[in-house]
Amino acid sequence: MFKIETFKFLVESHVFGVCERIGERLKMPAKEIRMFFIYASFLTIGSPVIIYMILTFWIQMKDYVRGKRTAIWDF
> Cα separation of 39 and 45, whole Å?
10
Local structure of residue 73 (DSSP, 8 states): T
* Predicted TM-score of the model (pTM): 0.57
Using the Cα atoms of residue 41, residue 8, residue 17 and residue 58 in order, give the sign of their dihedral. negative
Task: Give me the average pLDDT of each 10-residue run along the chain (75 residues).
Answer: 70 70 87 85 84 83 72 57
Given this model, what pLDDT does residue 56 score?
Answer: 82
